[in-house]
Amino acid sequence: MSLQEQFDQAMADSKNLPERPDNMTLLKMYALFKQGSAGDASGSRPGFTDMVGRAKFDAWAALKGTSQEEAQQQYVDLIGELQAA
């Protein structure tokens, strides 16, 4: 199974985790997903009134320079860990 296929499967699996991850883990999942699917963060940072959007953008921007393949592998590994928990 190729990395892209594993990434796609992990995306599907993320919707059926045994329990809802904590907010920090959800941010990490979001950031790895965005980096793995779109690359480095783009666009402008949301304003201070959009705290959730701002946190998500910051988490994604923190991965700047991480290759899409590396982010996809980290995402696959993280979802695998969450499924096993």
Mean per-residue pLDDT, 47-67: 97
Class of domain 3-84: mainly alpha
Tell me how many helices (H) and strands (E) the chain has: 4, 0
The pLDDT value given to residue 85: 80
User: What's this model's pTM, rounded to 2 decimal places?
Assistant: 0.94
Delimit the domains of the chain by residue range: 3-84
**How buried is residue 42: exposed, middle or buried, by Cβ count under 10 Å (0-12/13-18/19+)?**
exposed
Cβ-in-10-Å burial (0-12, 13-18, 19+) of 57 comes to: buried
Looking at residue 72, its pLDDT comes to: 98
